[in-house]
Structure 1
Amino acid sequence: MSPKEDISEKWREIQGEIVKYGEFAQATYDAFDFDSFSEYCGSCRYNENRLFDKLGLNKHGYKVTKYIYAMSHIDLPRWLERSHLVSLGGQMEQILKLDGIHRSALPLLTAYEAASSLPGLHVSIISFDAPRVRNIAFRDELHQMGIKTLRTVGKQDLVPRMPGLVFNESLQKFDDITGTLDWVYTHVGAELKLDVWSSPYLKHRFNALGFHMLETYLHLVDGFHSKTSTFRSDGRRDVALVNKTCDMLVDELRIPHFWYQLANKGLECNEHGRWVKPKRDPEDIPFPTSQTHTHVIEMQENYGLIPLFSL
């Protein structure tokens, strides 16, 4: 495990604790209910007082302050179409998972919104495997607003190369010929590039899913010392975590692939000897218990619960 000292009072000084922030992002995946047969599909499995305890992250000195309810008016994803909680007719609401608040394009857009609304607010971003978001003008404006960004990207990961695989910020060196290309996609901030091949614990073969997994990134960050040094062997994170949801570890380690799952895949034996979906504790139900069943289903169709961490 990573160091567990309380850093909540000095987070501005040591925001380079990349692994720690990555573990917070990973927590939103581990606690998210992806089960399309679950009564609470699309919500967080635990309330804000239990989340860190259930995921073994209770010694960081942080606390969950609230859950974000977010919606997106786009086609329903296939994994949710199988759920018995939603109607399959017409344009549907998608439960939007904010990607751990550290991944995807959302951190940059959220930072821009916050800095625009509250001038002088200190805004810093640590992102993992994020794609390009907008153009050069957007990048320059973020810089002028004082937003600090550290992008952690994998050399083998395809997502950080998108969009703009060909037309991107690298074309700036040809400005004398092409002129300023304001329409091309560009990355923002400083970059920490990690190489899968640097780790002796990872398979050296193409694995698009494994390259993009956050646990792979955290393993590489934990073993990173410098661009010129080898992978450090005294890393603190358990190597087995890499294979939680992929197949990246060398077979010699004898770690099962995709090993992270609920006991008995979420079923439990009740007092009648029947294997059933368990009922959640009342405090972990993501909506008021006083609502009618119809209103409950309506809320489940429209809302996803995402942990927001107090930094």
Structure 2
Amino acid sequence: MLKELGFLQMWRLICWLRPPSTPECTSPTLKSYCKSKINPAHLTHNQFIKITDNGSPENKGNGMLERLNLDRIWPEMKAAEEMSPRHLNRLRRLLSMSQEYSPRNHLGSRWREYHGSNDWSGLLDPLDENLRREVVRYGEFIQAAYHCFNSNPATPADEPPFPQHVALPDRSYKVTKSLYATSSVGLPKWVDEKAPDLGWMTQRSSWIGYVAVCDDRREITRMGRREIVIALRGTATCLEWAENMRDLLVQIPGEYDPSHGQPKVECGFWSLYKTHGVQVSSLAESVVEEVRRLIDLYKGETLSITVTGHSLGAALALLVADELSTCTQEAPPVAVFSFGGPRVGNRGFANRLNAKNVKVLRIVNSQDVITRVPGMFVNENIDKKLRNTKITGVLNMLDNNMPWAYSHVGTELRVDTKMSPYLKPDADVACCHDLEAYLHLVDGFSASNCPFRANAKRSLVRLLNEQKSNVKKLYTSKAKALTLNLEREGSFPMSSCLPSPS
């Protein structure tokens, strides 16, 4: 009988069985519904599906329906709901050519707090909307580095590097310096002979990022300071992968505080950071020289330094921040925003960064295995508890002597692929480590105990383009059907909004 009933008639049947205004209502779910003072029997179909600007229902009747789980007793209800105008309107917005963002509010006097002065205390869970916007913005700086690398992948060994054109997502910034990383390992000559077309993958020196500075007076006022950004991409060449595998800890040259422990970092990361190329300086020399120049150029202004990177770039970002924090006598505040970063050094290195007041926010996907390497498997929370027990001396001894005693540094913002309604729960390793997937998860993150936020802003176009096999079939089929319909109407040329692969 239920199948023969219309949508409105079914609602009236529910109301007849359990009127919302009944004072004897004892179910917590129905109690919350009663408080809304809305009688669904009086709603028209159009009123029921009316949508607010942020994509959430204006009335609570639909929430009541979802909480009743009627799709279990009436499967057709689930299909009707999933293909309702509400869902299609939301999907159409998320596939829009015009990118939407969370509000860019005035940070003003609170900029140091958003830059990590208090280790982002009280801003992460639930996630502050201003911080969400800033984190996504830094991720897009990294995406610009990936795109630039793809357009001109390597530096010829016998020619000086030419300046790279970087299409920044934020026009308030200008690029002032290209950065290169050089590997200290090489591949056999027969590789070049057998695969000459892959020469760009075997280059010892490759473009890895850039330095940019905010040059817009209105944006400087909004942020409360002039910002210097260093953005670094992840692994992209064979030799960089080879360096990633060199996972023994090596000591950082120079003096250190014995109370903090001997600072050590991964051999391969240190090699990429410190090695000179044929025609280029090391990454360490280039970034320090440029930041010193900018600090001198804008002397007297309020400045900040933000280093952001993904994967390998996240690891190098910590080495960059460590050196920039003491590159001048009055160095500006230094913060790192890293995405999918591996462990970089031991506890002595983490203590060194903390002593230098370098602030680190690690954005971590729970399903991303890269964030749990290199080194022995360590649960940071358990390790922290053990440090307060009698065995702390044994742990410190292991930190100083074990070649794989790695430790994370900084504050963690944890997201999870399984929280996204669009991605498959069993998404593959590549998807869980993908930068666009990270930005998608951050944009939808509300709190650790809350679902993906309904008013997420970030477009799904790039995610569908790069991770189509990991997106739930329901949404890929919807997106395909919706795109075809809009293309027929002449209002949605899908091909024009697809970015180049990164």
| TM-score under structure 2 length normalisation | 0.43
For 2:474 and 2:162, how far apart are their aligned partners in 1? Answer: 34
Q: 1:239-291 CA distances to partner (integer Å, 9 max, x unpaired)?
A: 222234333221222268xx7547xxxxxxxxxxxxxxxxxxxxxxxxxxxxx
Matched AA of 2:154? G
The alpha-carbon distance between structure 1 residues 145 and 46, as it changes in their structure 2 partners (threshold 3 A), is closer
Unaligned runs of 5+ residues in structure 1 are 35-39, 263-311
After TM superposition, give the deviation of residue 134 of structure 1 in Å. 0.6
For 1:211 and 1:125, how far apart are their aligned partners in 2? Answer: 21
Do the aligned residues in 1 keep the contact of 2:153 with 2:200 (CA within 8 Å)?
A: no
For 2:365 and 2:328, how far apart are their aligned partners in 1? Answer: 33
The alpha-carbon distance between structure 1 residues 119 and 227, as it changes in their structure 2 partners (threshold 3 A), is farther
Matched AA of 2:461? A
The alpha-carbon distance between structure 1 residues 244 and 45, as it changes in their structure 2 partners (threshold 3 A), is farther
1:77-96 equivalent positions in 2, closer than 5 A:
82-84=195-197, 86=199, 93-95=204-206
Partner residue, 2:184:
73
| 1:196 aligns to 2:403 (yes or no) | no
The alpha-carbon distance between structure 1 residues 240 and 171, as it changes in their structure 2 partners (threshold 3 A), is same
| 1:237 aligns to 2:458 (yes or no) | yes
**RMSD across aligned positions (CA):** 3.4
Matched AA of 1:41? P
1:81-120 equivalent positions in 2, closer than 5 A:
82-84=195-197, 86=199, 93-95=204-206, 97-98=208-209, 99-100=232-233, 101-103=308-310, 104=312, 105-120=315-330
Which secondary structure state, in structure 2, belongs to the residue aligned with residue 138 of structure 1? helix
1:1-311 equivalent positions in 2, closer than 5 A:
1=99, 2-3=101-102, 12=112, 14-15=114-115, 16=131, 17-33=134-150, 40-42=152-154, 47-48=164-165, 51-52=167-168, 57-59=169-171, 61-76=172-187, 82-84=195-197, 86=199, 93-95=204-206, 97-98=208-209, 99-100=232-233, 101-103=308-310, 104=312, 105-121=315-331, 122-167=333-378, 169=380, 170-175=382-387, 176-177=390-391, 178-180=394-396, 181-183=398-400, 184-246=405-467, 247-254=469-476, 260-261=499-500
After TM superposition, give the deviation of residue 30 of structure 1 in Å. 2.1
For 2:340 and 2:438, how far apart are their aligned partners in 1? Answer: 8
For 1:29 and 1:191, how far apart are their aligned partners in 2? Answer: 24
Unaligned runs of 5+ residues in structure 2 are 1-98, 116-130, 156-160, 210-231, 234-307, 481-497
For 1:212 and 1:45, how far apart are their aligned partners in 2? Answer: 31
Which structure would you say has the larger Rg? 2
After TM superposition, give the deviation of residue 125 of structure 1 in Å. 0.6
After TM superposition, give the deviation of residue 25 of structure 1 in Å. 0.7
For 2:470 and 2:441, how far apart are their aligned partners in 1? Answer: 12
Matched AA of 2:136? V
After TM superposition, give the deviation of residue 199 of structure 1 in Å. 0.8
Matched AA of 1:42? A
For 1:7 and 1:70, how far apart are their aligned partners in 2? Answer: 36
After TM superposition, give the deviation of residue 46 of structure 1 in Å. 9.0
For 1:93 and 1:213, how far apart are their aligned partners in 2? Answer: 25
| TM-score under structure 1 length normalisation | 0.67
The alpha-carbon distance between structure 1 residues 83 and 25, as it changes in their structure 2 partners (threshold 3 A), is farther
Do the aligned residues in 1 keep the contact of 2:154 with 2:203 (CA within 8 Å)?
A: no
After TM superposition, give the deviation of residue 22 of structure 1 in Å. 0.5
Q: Which has the higher contact order (CA 8 A, sep 6+)?
A: 1
Do the aligned residues in 2 keep the contact of 1:196 with 1:204 (CA within 8 Å)?
A: yes
For 2:472 and 2:370, how far apart are their aligned partners in 1? Answer: 23
Do the aligned residues in 2 keep the contact of 1:75 with 1:94 (CA within 8 Å)?
A: no
Do the aligned residues in 1 keep the contact of 2:148 with 2:164 (CA within 8 Å)?
A: no
- Give the number of aligned pairs: 245
